[in-house]
Amino acid sequence: RYSTAAAIEEPVTPPVKVGYTQLLIDGKFVEAVSGKTFPTLDPRTGDVIAHVAEGDAEDINRAVAAARKAFDEGPWPRMTAYERQMVLLRFADLLEKHNDEIAALETWDNGKPYEQAANVEVPMTTRLFRYYAGWADKIHGLTVPADGPHHVQTLHEPIGVAGQIIPWNFPLLMFAWKVGPALACGNTIVLKTAEQTPLSALVVSKLLHEAGLPEGVLNVVSGFGPTAGAALASHMNVDKLAFTGSTGTGKIVLELAAKSNLKPVTLELGGKSPFIVCDDADVDKAVELAHFALFFNQGQCCCAGSRTYVHERVYDEFVEKAKERAGKRSVGDPFRSGIEQGPQVDSEQLEKILGYIRSGIESGATLETGGERFGNKGYYVQPTVFSNVKDDMLIAKDEIFGPVQSILKFKDLGDVIKRANNSPYGLAAGVFTQNIDAANTLTRALRVGTVWVNCFDVFDAGIPFGGYKMSGHGREKGIYSLKNYLQVKSVVTPLKNP
C-alpha cells in the first residue's frame, strides 16, 4: 500500500547551501560568547546539516542591549512610517526573488515537502510582510471629546523591545507573524528560533538588512529554550513577549514574564481541534478536507483537526474512505516532486507519535491503517487512522502533533457541541455541512478562536488567529496583532493656556 521505496531511496541532495550559522546581533553575524555550537539535523536522515552558534543568557543580554539601543537611540522608531513601509516592501521583494532557495533551506531543516515550502509557506511569508507594510503608515490614534476645555489625543507608540520565541513547525511563517507587525509598529526585536530549525530565519534576516533595516532592530539568537528562551522571557529590559509553542512552555514563559518585569505576553499554544462532519455531508469531499485538516505539514500544526467527529449516519462510509485516502498518501523524501508527507522534525517527535499510536491501540481504538514508522531511515511515520475513538482516550485528548487521525462518532449537534468543547484547548475547529442552520449553530457554540466552515487552514494575513482557553492569549495577524506591539499614550492639553 505504501511506496516504502521512496523513503529508503538515497535522499536528494538539497539544492541550496547553508548561508549563515552564527547569531545575528546588532546587524552582524557573531559567534556565541561561550563559543558553543549545536548541530541541526536533516530529518530525512538524522545527518548533521550544520553546526549553529548556541546562544544562551549572555548572548540574549547582548542582543537585548543592541535592541534597546536601536529603540532608544536608533533611527527605526524615529523614521517616517513611509520609510519603514518601504523597508518592509523591499524585503518582500527580496523574499520573492529568493523564494526557492529559502524554501529549500526550510525543507532541509524541517522536513516539509519542498513544493509546499516553495508554493505556500514562503509566498505566505512574503504576503504577510506586504500586508504589514501596508499598515506601517496607517497606525494612528484618536482625538477624544473632553468634559472640560481640553484637547485630548491618543498617540499609538511602539511598545519597545519585543522578545519573540518561535517553534519549528512553520519556522518562516512564525517568523513573519512575529516580526511583521512588530516592525510595522516601529519596535525592535530579539527573536529566538526553535533549536530544531534555526537556519531559515538567519537567511531572511540577512535579506531584511539588505532591504535597509538599521542594525540592532532585529536580533536573532539560535539556542535552547531553558537557556536562551528563558533568559529572553525573564529579561528586565524586554518590553513585550510573544511566544508560540506548547501549552506547558507557555505557562513557564508567562510565569517568567510575571516574575521579572510584568512584560505583557501573547501566547499561541497547543490545540486539539474538532473537525465536525454533519449528516448531510458529501462524504468524499468531507474525507478529503478532514484528511488535509489533520495530515497537512506531517500533522505538525497547532490547529490540526485532530478530533474528527463524524455523524453516525455517514460514519461507516467515512471511516472506509478516510482509511483509503490515508493509505494513498505519498510519503517520502520531501525534495521529490509529488510528495505529500515528509519526515517529522526530529527523533523526539517520532518517538512521541509512535508512543501515542501504541496508546491508541492499547486503549481499544481500531487501527484502520498505518501505525508504524515508515522506512528505517529518518523520522518518517506512516499515515495512521484510528476509528472507534472515545473522548476519554489519550489520543482524543492530547496533542499528538503527527500524522494520526482519530475518528469519533456523534449522534446530534447538541452531543457534538458538548464533546467538542470538552477540552482544555480552544484554538480552532472545522465544520463540514451545507446546512446553514447547523453551520450557524456550530460556529456560535464552539469555544475556539477560528472556525473554518467547509474549508480548513486558511491563513490569510488579515485573518486573526489565536486561542480560547489554554490555547493562548491574544490574536496574531490582521489588525489585531498591531495592538500587541503598541502602547497607547493619552495626551491632554488645556485649550487655552492658564
**Catalytically active residues, by annotation:** 268
Q: Tell me the C-alpha to C-alpha distance, in Å, between residue 437 and each of 284, 413, 429.
A: 22, 11, 17
Q: Tell me how far apart the alpha carbons of residues 191 and 4 are, in angstroms, rounded to a whole number.
A: 39
Interface mask (CB under 6 A) for ligand ADP, residues 148-187, using x and -?
Answer: -----------------xxx--------------------
16 is written with which cell numbers? 541550496
Give 168 or 452: the residue with its C-beta nearer to ligand ADP: 168
Give 85 or 110: the residue with its C-beta nearer to ligand ADP: 110
Nearest by Cα to 278 from 430, 84, 79, 100: 430
Q: Which stretch binds ligand ADP (CB under 6 A): 242-250, 410-418, 452-460, 461-469?
A: 242-250
* Residue 252 in contact with ligand ADP, rule: CB under 6 A: yes
* Residue 443 in contact with ligand ADP, rule: CB under 6 A: no
Q: Which stretch binds ligand ADP (CB under 6 A): 26-34, 85-93, 170-178, 247-255?
A: 247-255
* Residue 265 in contact with ligand ADP, rule: CB under 6 A: no
Which residues 182-241 are close enough to bind ligand ADP by CB under 6 A?
192, 194-195, 224-226, 229-230, 233
> How many Cα atoms are found within 13 Å in the side-chain-facing hemisphere of 335?
20
Q: Residue 13 belongs to what H/E stretch?
A: none
Tell me the CA end-to-end span of the chain in Å, nearest whole number: 86
Give 192 or 477: the residue with its C-beta nearer to ligand ADP: 192
Taking a C-beta distance cutoff of 8 angstroms, is the pair 161, 487 a contact?
A: no
* Residue 14 in contact with ligand ADP, rule: CB under 6 A: no
Give 42 or 368: the residue with its C-beta nearer to ligand ADP: 42
Q: Which stretch binds ligand ADP (CB under 6 A): 60-68, 245-253, 362-370, 384-392?
A: 245-253
Q: Minimum distance between the CB of residue 392 and ligand ADP, rounded to whole angstroms?
A: 24
The residues facing 310 across adjacent strands are: 277, 409
Give percent helix, percent strand, percent coil of the chain, each to the nearest 5.
40, 20, 40
Taking a C-beta distance cutoff of 8 angstroms, is the pair 297, 170 a contact?
A: yes
Q: Tell me how far apart the alpha carbons of residues 194 and 180 are, in angstroms, rounded to a whole number.
A: 18
User: Could you count the other beta carbons within 10 Å of the beta carbon of residue 27?
Assistant: 17
* Residue 347 in contact with ligand ADP, rule: CB under 6 A: no
- Residues that bind ligand ADP in the complex, under the rule CB under 6 A: 165-167, 192, 194-195, 224-226, 229-230, 233, 245-246, 249, 252-253
